[in-house]
Amino acid sequence: MFRRILSFFRPEPVRIQGASKLVEGRAHKITVGDPLAGNGRDVLLVRLDGVVHAVDNQCPHAGAFINDGPLVEGKYLVCPLHHYHFDPKSGACVNAACRNARRYKVKESGDTLELHI
């Protein structure tokens, strides 16, 4: 009963088609929501070791945008402002003292991704 009540307060996941097009070791930026309405957000989708991860595009240190494109050393997202490296699997900054990048739950089902913001 409690789970059913909670389900009314949880937003529906964002469904994204084309999961099979995500290239291993590369970050792909998508925009979720409506930026003009103030509820838009850029998210990086990363396929790493066959699993899709979703990371907020904003660096937790200074608010710069984390690069999309090829991962550094094939496994790290990088913020170009201070060259901080983030592990998409955990969101952890691996080369500096910085807070973790925000991650989102993502579930792959066939060619569809369900992104929970």
Q: What is the pLDDT, as a whole number, of residue 42? A: 95
Q: What is the pLDDT, as a whole number, of residue 2? A: 61
Q: What are the 10-residue block averages of pLDDT along the chain, 117 residues in total?
A: 61 91 96 81 96 96 93 96 96 95 96 94
| Residue 48, burial from CB neighbour count under 10 angstroms (0-12, 13-18, 19+) | buried
Structural domains in the chain, CATH included, are 2-116 (2.102.10.10)
User: What's the CA gap between 26 and 72, in Å, rounded?
Assistant: 9
Q: Are 69 and 25 in contact (CB under 8 A)?
A: no
The backbone torsions φ and ψ at residue 4, rounded to the nearest 5 degrees and listed phi first, read: -65, -40
Q: What is the pLDDT, as a whole number, of residue 117? A: 86
Neighbours of 97 (CB within 10 A): 7
User: What's the CA gap between 57 and 42, in Å, rounded?
Assistant: 5
3-state secondary structure of 37: helix
Structure token digits, residue 100: 């973790």
Q: Are 115 and 14 in contact (CB under 8 A)?
A: yes
